[in-house]
Structure 1
Amino acid sequence: MSLKNYSLGQVGDFEIKQLRIFKSVVDNGGFSAAETELNISRSTISIHISNLESRLNLRLCRRGRGGFALTPEGTAIYEMTSRLLDSLEEFRNQVNEMSQNPAGELRIAVSDGTSLDPRSRFPEMIARFCSRAPEILLQTEVATLADIERMVLNDEADVGLMPYHRQLDGLNYIHLYSDVCRLYCSRNNPLLALEESELTDEVINCFTAVEPGVKPNEEATQQLSGMSLKGRAYFYETRLAMILSGKFIAFLPEAYAEPWVGSGQLKSLGGPERYYRLGIAAVTKKSCQPNKATSLFLDIIEDVHSPHSG
């Protein structure tokens, strides 16, 4: 592509979105690795990059059997993009900081089961935040782990509350509490007709099981290894429904399953060793300075979950 007789013209929101995608591809070392962070397909990423190249009238990268590599022009655009996005974030934060009272909005993305888990103390955090920043528009939504990561990284959410199987370099994590996830079946499951001595790992692993729909941590991977994974459900509610059908077994957080165990509708399998731990954290973007609203909410999280908090 040539710069001859070409003028870029005005840069709008759509070009900034494409530049964000381009930066993510470079940061992740290629299209495939960027799929998880962006939560869009490789073909869609390719279309965005091609359109950006056409818009800029520049060849930004080479992709093919030899792998992903930036052109000299691509390297320059990447560096300018990083400065541009940092400047936009700084502008947004400084405008918010100019107000004596926090204004604007706070966007929180929460994983299912987290907001009403008593250990999260989410309603208490909301109450404290609204008392101290009544002018803030508080926006909350439920999303999957991968979507929460993407939303925070792409500045679509300010804070995420979620279980974490991994820790991404671009995110800060404030550990809140840990879940113990155990293996469960329903009371109408044929496994319950067996004696405890017959419920060996080999027998349990032959029964159809549900995988969590997200790449698990090493501890969870070991527990799922060898199981007959013929179902998939990320959300706890749908995973529970599959267990209650009597056709599947699956792991659930102990605290989430407790009411169903108490009513006799669920039973844990495999003894005390059949479990894995799952951390729950508040996540924010590492590369930017939090605005007033986000900083206030993080202070509240730290206070509510401090060892000395009641």
Structure 2
Amino acid sequence: MKKDLKVSLGQVGDYEIRLLKVFEAVVESGGFSAAESELSIGRSTISTHIAKLEDRLNLRLCRRGRGGFSLTEEGIEVYELMKGLFSAMESFRSGVNALHVRLTGELRIIASDAIYMDPQSKLPEAIARFSEAAPDVNVLLDVKALSDIERMVLNDEADIGLIPFHRELTGLEYTQLYADHFHLYCSRAHPLYDTLPEELSLEAVLASKVVHAGIHTSPEVGAQLADMNKAAISYFYEARLAMILSGAYIGFMPDTYVEPYVAAGELRALAPEIKQYSLGVAAITRTHGRTNRARELFLSILNESDSSAPI
């Protein structure tokens, strides 16, 4: 009756692995003498190692003598089990090494609206490069309000946030990306649209109802809005643009966002020399947290962009 290897052997450690490696060389070389050159040790040392392995396993593995070298039934079975063990170890080693090359998991990117399609952000190009470099990573893209993005990154609900740079919160790191330029716009339907620039008074601009984001994004933005008729709030650019196009309101918008409407004659800038400001865009990540190689790769791709500008 075969002995129960699990009961006899117990835990397998480095010592047993070394003895099994000797056993493997002996079996595959066809005997002790033939294994000497393979192992670079003498026959007596090989014999001692095999004897120690047999004692450790409490099994006789091979026959040696005048009849030559041969495996016992237990030796054949141990050899097959050993090959399975070595194969599993190699798979484990290869898998761990692959983790240093292949990225898996999920990358969660949350952005303020308009940033995704801002030509300056070059996000489509960055996403394409990331997908090529890390094809096994599932990418989640979403749009949220500024305060929600900060909260989600701080709470590890998002890996990267893309926001207008307006303040620095403890617990967040900020990576400068580029700067958006804003002007004050009105639509063709607004009474001021057809006023010639030389006839347009600042008083008329300040008296017009303005739609704004409703949050404090920077001192410069606050100064621009301080003397204006703040009559409506709309955080997201898409909704704000709709209110401006209605002709009932004027409002500040990123130049790149409304460029097609300006080109089509649907919008015009009011007092462009006075009513303008720049607002930086930054990527935010948690200051402390688990290592995330997918996040670091995506940030490095963003940082390689030539579109960055001082915030």
Equivalent in the alignment of 1:204 = 205
- Secondary structure of the residue aligned to 2:256 is helix
- Secondary structure of the residue aligned to 1:125 is helix
**Structure 1: gaps spanning 5 or more residues:** 1-95
Equivalent in the alignment of 1:118 = 119
Equivalent in the alignment of 1:99 = 99
- Secondary structure of the residue aligned to 1:190 is coil
Residue 186, structure 1, aligned to residue 181, structure 2? no
* TM superposition shift of 1:305: 4.2
How far apart are the structure 1 equivalents of 2:304 and 2:136? 22
* TM superposition shift of 1:118: 1.6
Equivalent in the alignment of 1:245 = 246
Identity of matched residues, %: 45
* TM superposition shift of 1:144: 1.4
How far apart are the structure 2 equivalents of 1:245 and 1:216? 25
Q: Deviations over 1:227-276 (max 9, x none)?
A: 11111111111111101111000000111111111100101012312111
Superposition map of 1:134-173 within 5 A: 134-173=135-174
Larger mean CA deviation between 224-233 and 198-207 belongs to: 198-207
- Secondary structure of the residue aligned to 2:304 is helix
How far apart are the structure 2 equivalents of 1:106 and 1:239? 30
How far apart are the structure 2 equivalents of 1:195 and 1:299? 47
Equivalent in the alignment of 1:74 = none
Number of aligned residues: 212
Runs of 4+, deviation exceeding 4 Å: none
Is the Cα–Cα contact under 8 Å of residues 188 and 265 in structure 2 kept in the other structure?
Answer: yes
How far apart are the structure 1 equivalents of 2:291 and 2:199? 55
Return closer, same or farther for 1:289/1:208 CA change in 2, 3 Å cut-off: same
* TM superposition shift of 1:97: 10
* TM superposition shift of 1:169: 2.5
How far apart are the structure 1 equivalents of 2:256 and 2:291? 32
After TM superposition, the score normalised by the length of structure 1 is: 0.64
How far apart are the structure 1 equivalents of 2:291 and 2:283? 14
Is the Cα–Cα contact under 8 Å of residues 189 and 246 in structure 1 kept in the other structure?
Answer: yes
How far apart are the structure 2 equivalents of 1:271 and 1:302? 31
Q: Deviations over 1:191-217 (max 9, x none)?
A: 235443442222211111112122121
Is the Cα–Cα contact under 8 Å of residues 97 and 292 in structure 1 kept in the other structure?
Answer: no
- Secondary structure of the residue aligned to 2:192 is helix
Equivalent in the alignment of 1:52 = none
Q: Deviations over 1:170-200 (max 9, x none)?
A: 2111111111111000112112354434422
How far apart are the structure 1 equivalents of 2:293 and 2:264? 45
- Secondary structure of the residue aligned to 2:285 is strand
> What is the letter of the counterpart of residue 135 of structure 1?
D
How far apart are the structure 1 equivalents of 2:114 and 2:307? 22
Return closer, same or farther for 1:246/1:179 CA change in 2, 3 Å cut-off: same
> What is the letter of the counterpart of residue 218 of structure 1?
P
How far apart are the structure 2 equivalents of 1:296 and 1:197? 51
How far apart are the structure 2 equivalents of 1:137 and 1:240? 32
Is the Cα–Cα contact under 8 Å of residues 119 and 256 in structure 2 kept in the other structure?
Answer: no
How far apart are the structure 1 equivalents of 2:287 and 2:98? 22
- Higher gyration radius (CA): 2
Is the Cα–Cα contact under 8 Å of residues 164 and 217 in structure 2 kept in the other structure?
Answer: no
